[in-house]
Structure formats: structure tokens, C-alpha cells
Amino acid sequence: MTAATSWTWEYDGYEPADERLRESLCTLGNGYFATRGAFPECVADEVHYPGTYAAGCYNRLTSDVAGHSVENEDMVNLPNWLALRFRRPGGRWLTPDTATVLDHRQVLHLDSGMMERVTRYALAEGKALFVRQQRFVGMADPHLAVLRTEFTAEGFAGALDVEAALDGGVTNSGVARYRDLDGHHLTHVHTGSSAPDTVWLRCRTRTSDIRIGMAARLTADVPVTERLEVSRAVQRIHLDLTPGRTATVDKTVALHTSHDPAISDPLDAAVDRVDAASGFDDLLKAHRTAWDQLWRRAEIDVPGAAGRILRLHLFHVLQTLSPHTADLDVGVPARGLHGEAYRGHVFWDELFVLPYLNLHFPEVSRALLGYRHRRLDQARAAARATGRRGALYPWQSGSDGREETQELHLNPRSGRWLPDHSRLQHHVGSAIAYNVWRYCEATGDAEFLHTKGAEMLLQIARYWADSAVYDEGLGRYRIQGVVGPDEYHDAYPDAKLPGLDDNAYTNVTAAWVLTRTLEVLRALPEPRRRELLERTGLDGGEREHWDEVSRTLHVPFHGGVISQFEGYGDLAELDWDGYRKRYGDIRRLDRILEAEGDTVNRYQASKQADVLMLGYLFSPAELQEIFSRLGHRLDQDTWRRTVDYYLRRTSHGSTLSGLVHGWVLARARRAEAWTFCQEALRGDIADLQGGTTGEGIHLGAMAGTLDLVQRGLTGLATSGGALCLDPVPLPELSSYGFAIHYLGHWGIQLRLEHGRLEITVPPSDLDPIDVRLPDRSVSVQPGEMRRLMLPG
């Protein structure tokens, strides 16, 4: 990567080993679909992977692995619309692997959502071909993508053959670990043409039967011929190049699927759309305007290298979850629409994404919560299947909300397929409840809170209350047989059954969900409360029981610290230095130990923040209050000791871990905070999790870093109808500004600098904003700017 402006992301030279990573980081998308930043002249192989994914487009297949038949639902790699190759007549197609690359440069323009690449290919006898391409995936029209290619002959005059295609012969093969699994998701591939310059391809997914229509228009100053193959719709042109004169070829592509609203047939819709599409310049203009508007709503201004990375993170968050997402029935895919890792599934990662979106794109947050609400019945069925009432949301969710977590996972280090118990992470339900609550706090959306929000809260709370078992000896309720956020621990050593007891994170968040739900029920307008109680059969007795459970869930402690789960403190200590010395990178300690014939379950060694997640979700005051309700005094010393304890026992095998540690340590005013913030900032750009970014970005960590500035450092909370701020100093990130959308005010500007807060509320006829600092409260009128010194 080379130095660049704060609005570009640039790569110089062709580096096959980096290509997968660049493709992920140069992915272009619009919340409806995305395409990896691959070379159009290259097909999928060991180096290149030109994937295209539409949000929510999944397909389920059964494969045989390790003697088991396993079913997996995957986000489908759609036909490759990008394909465009070129050669001198009679010569080989030019690719960076088959021809000599004299220069190569790739620039991602974050401001306009456009990728530009320039490559000079060496030809025989000192000649060269200069290729410049610009591409974008429409932010104005989410069904369109455009690729402009300019060819310039250097040192020769002569012909160039250009071939563009829609290629339906693709499979899901972007993740090496999944290659034993069936990746053939597309069937009934047909091609055709609808105009002299337009071809189309249609197909459907094998089991989910989603129909896909694509159409491509090729525009050049020369005639276009077509060849329709079984799975490829090919268009060809023959250019006569002369030195100094650039020949331009535009490929405009439309994509529709049968999930789209307001269409009758995806192919007809794609053909019509491409037919009606204007030329490159007009499309780009509209696309730029759409991006300008997004940047205005999500403005963040942080100086230096951190600011540049944050902008890239924001760019990818917006490409995965844009206002176009608000019209779709989709969740937050953990790895963006950028690759096939985790199969496009939806985990608890929305916990790191929605709090950021709430203050910029509340309509997107609401839609993402809608995805969960539509799957409430499925979650209730899952709870029933475990013999409990309420809703048990799946650890991994896809199309219909059933549990999509794989049964087996491969340890690439040992080559063994192992049982996967991560589905026992029932805490995902609390993440959904937390997001409902924070969304409603930030937006004041009482309508949502009183309807869908209350319905989800009620059923999630009910599941927790029904899961809690009273222990006479302890005189407390316990939740047993679960897995916490640290997925390294999925069982007690030598236990026959998976699952752990009294995971502190699970129990404390469950207690919080129960308390908040009771609060919401009390505050519901009477007619609505009656409706809800009638529909769910929730009576006074059950609510009393919830109240009791919310006060008496067991939170284990040992040696003066909160235990991750009952018995964590009895596990063996790991020889951290020894393992670091032997293996260097020990982030994936679970795989290392399993390959050694051992198991991480025997050790006090965590993959990621688990107990410390509590300090990420709740302010110190909130946390003290929750603990106090549970009958514990959580003083600063206990929290500090707990932070120290887990800091020494965490391998950070998830990108979420650095983020949470950075956040928690900054609040604890600890010097190490910046190291972890940097780990979170560099997670994807430097591919810190060892090759995983090439399989898709880590969306939770990316959005989390934005929220680290927005809520972590500022202590911004939107409770009680006021904007509460309690900034913590982080010397390395001490001046920043951003704009938020809050209680109907568009573009409230906040800037923190030199121990001073500047807040500007845009003119409107709305109510003034109540701003609460630790030492005072002020009211800021629309149209007013206030400067406030922060307490030292």
C-alpha cells in the first residue's frame, strides 16, 4: 500500500500474494449487492476471486465430510458480471499472471465509491498496452454496476480483441477451508441477447429457488458481436488501436433477483433497467451524488492515519448496510458482502454495528431489527424445541432464521473436522434485545418499542427466565449448559456434554434484559399492554418470577474477580510465554492446542473479551447498577482487577477482541488502550487474523472502531431523552469530530479538541437538545453552537 490522500486507498505494483486481501478491501457495493475488487481479466483461481454477492441471497446444500452428511446455507456467489479480457489477435489473453506487468496501480476513491486501476502490460518488441479501468456499483441505482475500460497502445498501431462476458459458471470456492463442501449453488443457467449490444444471463439457486437475472450492455465505437454459450453470455469487439488515441469500452450491468420488490420477473427487470440506463458520465454523476449524501450523514473527522483507516471502515460499513438495505429483509452479515467466510451468516456482530448506525441511519437499524422480528416465530420454535418458552435466536442466522451454525468445523492445522458447539451461544438473544433498547433510546421510536421491539424483548426475556434454574444451595438462579462470547471454551475438561454454567456475560445481560423488559411492559400504553399480554399469556405471576430471576441470577467470582463462568478459575494456567515462543502468533490457540492433541478447554485462556464485554456494553454507572440489583458491589477495584486478569489470559483470536479491549481500557484510563485500538484499526488492513480478510472483511470490528470514537471515547449515551457525554482522554486520539442524527435533528455536529466540546445543532423548529456532562447540563437550541470546557 502506498501513501495516499485521506480519501483514497491505493496499491502499487502487482502482488499475487496480496491479491485476495486487496480484492476484499477494494470490494464495491451498495447494500444491495457487492463485487470484490478483482481483475476483470482474471477468473477464480488460487490468486484471484471475483465474487459477487447479493444481500440475503442464500442457498442450502448438503455435503459429505468426514463420514457425515452436513447441511450448510451459503450466501451465493452470483454470476460474474465483471469479466472482460483482451489480447492481440492470435496472442494469449493478457492477465497479470500470463503477461509482464510493467506498472500497476489500483486506487479506491472513497469519496465517490469508485475503483480505478491502471496497468501497463508489456507486449512483444518493446510495445506496451496501457489499460485504465474505472468501476462502480451503483449507490444511486442499486441494481446497476458499471465498468469503463480505456485501452491505449504504446509504441504500436494494431488490433486488440476484447471479450466481455456474464459468466454463470461460478461456484462458491472462495474459502479454502470449505472446499470439501458442495459449492455449486446455481442451476438452470441460460443466456440470450435482447439488443445488438445487450446480452443477458438468467439462472436460479439450486434449493432456495431464487431467480437471478443479469443483463449487460457493451458500448464502444465499433460493432459488438455476441456468442451465447451454455453458461456464458459473451460479447466481443475488435479495436484498432493507434498510439496516442484511447479507445473506450463501457460495460453497464443490471442485476435483479426474485427477492426484489416491485418487479415481476428478474430477467425482464434487468434487461429493462440496462436498456433504460444512461451513459457512464450520467450514471457516475448520480452515483457520486448518492455517495456525497451518505458521507454527509456519516461524517467523521479524525486526523492522521487513524482517520484514514476509519474512513475506509466507514466506506465498507456503508457498502454493506446502506439506505438501500432498509428495503430488504436482511441482517448484518459478519463478513460484509465481501467474501464467503462464515457463509454470509448473521451472528451477534450487529451488537457492534447498530449502535453506530442508530445515530446516522436509523431507518437502516430499524430494518435490521425487522429482520430479527420476522424470525421471531422461528426463534420461538427453537426455544420450544429445547423445552423452553420464549425465543431462542440462532447463533448463526441466514434466510429463514433457523440455526445455521455448522455441525462440524475444520481445524486447518490438524486437518481434523471437529464438532462445533458454538450454537450454545444463546447470548445472541441479549444482543438483539440490547440493540432494540439502544435503537429506541437513540431515535425515540416509541412506535417500534411498543410493537415489534416489545414483542422481541418479551420473548427473549421469557427465554432467559425459563432457562434459569433455581439452586437451593446457592439460593440463586443459574443458567447452565451455554457458551459465552469466548468460544474457545465450549465444555468443562473431560465433560461428556458441551456447555458451561453461569457464564457471567450471559447471566448479567440476561438480568439486564429481564429488567428492561419489565420496565417497557410497565411503560406501555394500556391498550397496547393489554394486547401484548393477551397475545402472549404473560401474567402477573410470570412477571414476578422475571423480577426475581433478574435480581438473583448467579454471577460467579473467584479470587476477587468476576469469573468468566463457574469453574474458570480452577482451570490450568497456560504457559503463555512458552506458546508465544514456540508458535509466534497464538491468536488461534484453540487450533494450536487441538493439533497438539490437547484442548483449550483445560486452560484459563480466552479467545476474546467475554466478561470484559460488559464494560463495552454498559457505562461504569450502568454496570454498577446492574450488579447492585444482582446483590453485588462492583467497585472500581474489582473491575480493575477483573480487567487485568483477563487481559493476561486472552489471545485475541477474534477481531472483536482488540476493539473491546481498546474501548474498556480507554475508559479505565489505561496506557495500553491505544495498542488495542490500533489492533482494531489495523485488523483488516494488515490482515492481522492471518489471511482471513481475503475471505471477507470483519464488519463488526470495522463498525466498532467508528463507534469507539462516537460513543467509546465520548461516553455518549442517549438515555433519558438527553445527550449525555462523559469523554475519556486518549492522548493518541484527542481531537475528532462527527455529525449525528438524533431525535429528528439531522446533522448535529460534535467536536472534541483540547479538552473542549463544541456542539452545533442545525437550525430547525424542533426542541432544543439537552446536553449532560458529568458536571453540568446545558440546553442547546436549534441553530446554536456551544463550546463547553470538559472537566479535567
- What are the catalytic residues? 487
Sheet order of strands, 232-241 included: 84-87, 158-167, 232-241, 225-228
Compare residues 445 and 487 and give the one whose CB is closer to ligand BGC.
487
We find the least distance from the C-beta atom of residue 692 to ligand BGC, in angstroms, to be 9
Strands 408-411 and 416-419: antiparallel
Identify which of 80, 75, 78 has the alpha carbon closest to the alpha carbon of residue 38: 80
Compare residues 128 and 595 and give the one whose CB is closer to ligand BGC.
595
Compare residues 29 and 700 and give the one whose CB is closer to ligand BGC.
700
Compare residues 232 and 316 and give the one whose CB is closer to ligand BGC.
316
We find the least distance from the C-beta atom of residue 500 to ligand BGC, in angstroms, to be 15
Instruction: Classify residue 129 by its DSSP letter.
Output: E
Residue 327, CA atoms < 13 Å, CB-side half-sphere: 11
We find the least distance from the C-beta atom of residue 485 to ligand BGC, in angstroms, to be 6
We find the least distance from the C-beta atom of residue 654 to ligand BGC, in angstroms, to be 4
Compare residues 27 and 112 and give the one whose CB is closer to ligand BGC.
27
Mapped onto helix, strand or coil, the DSSP state of residue 121 is: strand
Compare residues 483 and 771 and give the one whose CB is closer to ligand BGC.
483
CA 161 and chain centroid, separation = 40
Q: Largest Cα–Cα distance in the chain? A: 90
Q: Which residues bind ligand BGC (CB under 6 A)?
A: 334, 342, 347-349, 485, 487, 607-608, 654, 656, 700
Contact (CB, 8 A) for 338 and 697: yes
- Distance between CA 217 and CA 231 in Å, rounded? 17
Compare residues 251 and 607 and give the one whose CB is closer to ligand BGC.
607
Element (H, E) at 521: helix 504-523
We find the least distance from the C-beta atom of residue 683 to ligand BGC, in angstroms, to be 11
- Distance between CA 353 and CA 330 in Å, rounded? 14
- Distance between CA 266 and CA 272 in Å, rounded? 10
We find the least distance from the C-beta atom of residue 549 to ligand BGC, in angstroms, to be 26
Amino acid at 345: H
- Distance between CA 326 and CA 142 in Å, rounded? 12
We find the least distance from the C-beta atom of residue 138 to ligand BGC, in angstroms, to be 28
List beta partners, residue 236.
Answer: 163, 225
We find the least distance from the C-beta atom of residue 587 to ligand BGC, in angstroms, to be 10
We find the least distance from the C-beta atom of residue 334 to ligand BGC, in angstroms, to be 4
We find the least distance from the C-beta atom of residue 606 to ligand BGC, in angstroms, to be 10
Compare residues 197 and 487 and give the one whose CB is closer to ligand BGC.
487
Mapped onto helix, strand or coil, the DSSP state of residue 144 is: strand
Identify which of 610, 615, 738 has the alpha carbon closest to the alpha carbon of residue 668: 615
Contact (CB, 8 A) for 396 and 315: no
List beta partners, residue 186.
Answer: 205
Please give the sequence-ordered ranges of beta strands (E in DSSP) within 355-454, or none if there are none. Answer: 408-411, 416-419
C-alpha cell at position 762 = 442545525
C-alpha cell at position 512 = 439486564
Q: For residue 581, what are the contacts with CB-CB under 8 A and spacing of at least 6?
A: none
- Distance between CA 662 and CA 679 in Å, rounded? 8
Hey, CA dihedral for 326, 332, 336, 339, is it positive or negative? negative
Compare residues 258 and 604 and give the one whose CB is closer to ligand BGC.
604
Compare residues 374 and 409 and give the one whose CB is closer to ligand BGC.
409
Compare residues 109 and 607 and give the one whose CB is closer to ligand BGC.
607
- Distance between CA 459 and CA 383 in Å, rounded? 10
- Distance between CA 418 and CA 512 in Å, rounded? 34
We find the least distance from the C-beta atom of residue 689 to ligand BGC, in angstroms, to be 8
We find the least distance from the C-beta atom of residue 699 to ligand BGC, in angstroms, to be 8
Q: For residue 787, what are the contacts with CB-CB under 8 A and spacing of at least 6?
A: 756, 757, 758
Strands 723-724 and 769-773: parallel
- Distance between CA 29 and CA 651 in Å, rounded? 33
- Distance between CA 661 and CA 642 in Å, rounded? 12
Amino acid at 305: A
User: What does residue 89 show for φ and ψ, rounded to 5 degrees?
Assistant: -50, 130
- Distance between CA 283 and CA 139 in Å, rounded? 10
Nearest 5°: the CA angle 52, 58, 64 is 105
- The runs of H, that is alpha helices, within 630-725 are 636-647, 655-667, 673-682, 699-707
Compare residues 348 and 477 and give the one whose CB is closer to ligand BGC.
348
